[in-house]
Amino acid sequence: MKFAHKRATAVAAAAVAAALALSGCADTGSSGGGASEGGGSDNLSITFLPKSLGNPYFDTSSKGGKAAVEELGGTFAEVGPAESGPDAQVSYINTATQQGVGSLVVSANDPKAICDALNEARDAGVKVVTFDSDTNPDCRDLFVNQATADGIAKVQVDLIAEQIGDAGEIAIVSSTANATNQNTWIDKMKELLAADHPNIQLVDVVYGDDDEQISFDKTAAVLQSHPNLKGIVSPTTIGISAAARYLSTSDYKGKVALTGLGTPNQMREYIEDGTVTAFALWNPEDLGYLSAYAAAALINGDITGKEGDTFTAGKLGEYTVGADATVLLGDPYVFDKDNIDDFDF
């Protein structure tokens, strides 16, 4: 099964040179001013707050965000916790608010735990954009969605169904138990399995906490607990690479299918050695790039988050704000042995 990517920019955007070494300190281009304390039309100080630092997925999204902020003549920074946790991002939000940044671009570890801090930031004039993983809608100004939850769930269900002959037991290796995006996708996968794949049984959902070693250990444990398992879906980049690492040197290689959401650079060796047949994702560099342009559009007053608002996101073109103050990047893309070498992220 092949899925067409609707955005021709994916290859070009992914071919940027070396990854950033992001340490949480500000990386300054030609500053957009920042004269307005707590946000304003001349304050293009944009801070990215991922779920955790050191995650290749977020390194790549921040790379796109940095490129966009530099194009806009603003000031880019990335901050964040070393490990994911429901309230681990609160102190970083508070600090950014005190610093008077123009916008916070946040991938939320929990839909509620950071809401009070985000609303305090908004009261201080900071524009709040969520990306990748949303908060409750009343805690932010705009959500930049990588793809629809239905589309992300469907591509993963379709892939695992194809790989296991549409029958047998499967398990899910997720990130954290409270991750908004993960739980939404898992709920929709359950619905799709029940409606369209009655011969596939989801027997377990385990959580690797966005930690490579924990995800590795959880993969081993779920395989031992379910000896008839035919497939694993991991809708998280750390989880899928950890599961692939375990499978690649185990007796399960070639017997238990693995798919989910990963980056080409993480998964290339496992595609090449036959551990994994195909997996999906969007371009996280494009996601970060779009999020930065959305933040700038809010800061400049070009949009407010109202449905029907439009703005231009540099090389990605024009976007329209949809319902619930949401902007959609595009459709998921499937990577396999035929195309994986076309991408570098």
pLDDT digits (tens, 9 = 90+) for 297-341: 999 999 999 999 999 999 999 999 999 999 999 989 999 999 999
Pairing state between β 26-28 and 45-49: unpaired
CB neighbour burial string for 209-223, b if at least 16 within 10 angstroms, e if fewer: bbbbebbbebbbebb
Contact indicator for 74, 142 with CB cutoff of 8 Å: no
CA gap 292, 285 in Å, rounded = 11
Render pLDDT for 184-202 as a digit per residue (tens, 0 to 9).
999 999 999 999 999 999 9
- Whether residue 23 is predicted with pLDDT greater than 60 in this model: the reply is no
Location of structure tokens 């004039």: 125
What is the Cα–Cα distance from 170 to 123, expressed in whole angstroms?
46
Q: What angle do CA 38, 44, 45 make, to 5 degrees?
A: 65
| pLDDT single digits (tens) 24-70 | 333 433 333 333 333 345 799 999 999 999 988 899 999 999 999 99
Please report the pLDDT score of residue 190 as a whole number: 98
What does residue 260 show for φ and ψ, rounded to 5 degrees? 145, -145
**Taking the model in full, what pTM does it have?**
0.72
Q: Quick one: pLDDT band at residue 10, thresholds 50, 70, 90? A: very low
> What is the rounded distance in angstroms from the CA atom of residue 234 to the CA atom of residue 240?
5
Percent of the chain surpassing pLDDT 70: 88
